[in-house]
Amino acid sequence: MKLVRKDIEKDNAGQVTLVPEEPEDMWHTFNLVQVGDSLRASTIRKVQTESSTGSVGSNRVRTTLTLCVEAIDFDSQACQLRVKGTNIQENEYVKMGAYHTIELEPNRQFTLAKKQWDSVVLERIEQACDPAWSADVAAVVMQEGLAHVCLVTPSMTLTRAKVEVNIPRKRKGNCSQHDRALERFYEQVVQAIQRHINFEVVKCVLVASPGFVREQFCDYMFQQAVKTDNKVLLENRSKFLQVHASSGHKYSLKEALCDPTVASRLSDAKAAGEVKALDDFYKMLQHEPDRAFYGLKQVERANEALAIDTLLISDELFRHQDVATRSRYVRLVDSVKENAGTVRIFSSLHVSGEQLGQLTGVAAILRFPVPELSDQEDDSSSEED
């Protein structure tokens, strides 16, 4: 993401002009734009024209509109963002108050104005415009007959290909059908890797599986690469890292990212940091439950006691339609930072973010046990019953 201009007043009102440069920047933009904001961008509008003879025709013209945002739609697979709203600035092609949908595009700038820029949104802009945050990882999570080829960016886990091949069981004295099917499966996975992984950007490719599937697959892939003189695979062989996973399903990627070998290799990647924080939370919940809280009320109470060491919170909560609720989450983040706590904002499109979402989207690891908070919560829940 490229920051062109930033004009924010002391009262936190103002506007920023940005240029999304990569598909992931559209995800950042989705998290920046909120209902009620003002968005100015270039768009295509169908305009009716009438000639001197009275015949009516239509032309598509490019024009710049300023909309008051009413709805936002994000397609995570195509990384496309559509913003619907009413026109609030005089335009020769579109009447004031008329509805229009702008599709934001990579490499085309837009200006976003807000009445109140909060700290979470401003921090996201800072991160999106910092090249150091683009330490991308690719992963192949597989088992016999099933594989997912994923891209793990700082904010998302994108499934780029799913390969499924029926593998017959080995028969006594005859393994030919099984071996042929397995070879066909491996070949399809190799093709998916070549098609969807850009080795100029990706720093590491995790190959995760149960048993010996990953070793057998990597042996096959590089043997074929030598036979076919596939320079791309051979030159990037050092980027492939084999790790254990319990299955070939996408959720097993979390196990692979938790592996100590992977964590040290990806120590500068935000995705690995989020996974480690969530893993630390689960360990604390298991061994010292008085130091691991989740749910907004409990976490807020822990914050009042200045007990929060690490706050884990989903970015989905900052897209809440209710301004008061959204402000409540922002205040929590600001307060934890003021009290020298660490804040980790998880992406709801990342596997770790999906898991945090199952824990209400907000959790905290505490500096010290606060058992009375658990008791209060129990008392209040029993009163409600």
pLDDT computed for residue 302 by the predictor: 95
Choose which CATH entry (1.10.150.120, 3.65.10.10, 3.30.1330.30, 3.90.79.10) describes domain 274-377: 3.30.1330.30
**Alpha-carbon dihedral sign for residues 164, 169, 170, 176:** negative
SS3 of residue 10 by DSSP:
coil
What is the residue-wise DSSP string for 266-296?
Answer: TTT-HHHHHHHHHHHHHHHHHH-GGGEEESH
The fold of the 2-129 domain, in CATH, is SH3 type barrels. (2.30.30)
Rounded Cα distance between 164 and 189, Å, is: 9
Q: Tell me where in the chain the CATH 3.30.1330.30 domain(s) lie.
A: 274-377
Helix residue ranges, H only, 64-117: none
CATH 3.30.420.60 in the chain, residue ranges:
136-268
pLDDT in tens, 311-349: 999 999 998 888 899 999 999 999 999 999 999 999 888
pLDDT digits (tens, 9 = 90+) for 52-89: 676 777 788 889 999 999 999 998 777 789 999 999 99
Please, where in the chain does CATH 2.30.30.870 lie? 2-129
Measured between its terminal Cα atoms, the distance across the chain in Å is 50
pLDDT for 291-302, tens place per residue? 999 999 999 999
Backbone φ and ψ for 166, nearest 5 degrees, come out as: -75, 120
Structural contact between residues 361 and 353, judged by C-beta atoms closer than 8 angstroms = no
Kindly report, residue by residue over 153-165, the tens digit of the pLDDT.
766 788 889 999 9
Does 377 have pLDDT greater than 80? Answer: no
User: Among positive and negative, which fits the CA dihedral 182, 187, 191, 194?
Assistant: positive
Q: Which fold has domain 136-268?
A: Nucleotidyltransferase; domain 5 (3.30.420)
Query: Which of 145-154, 280-289, 361-370 is least confident?
Result: 145-154
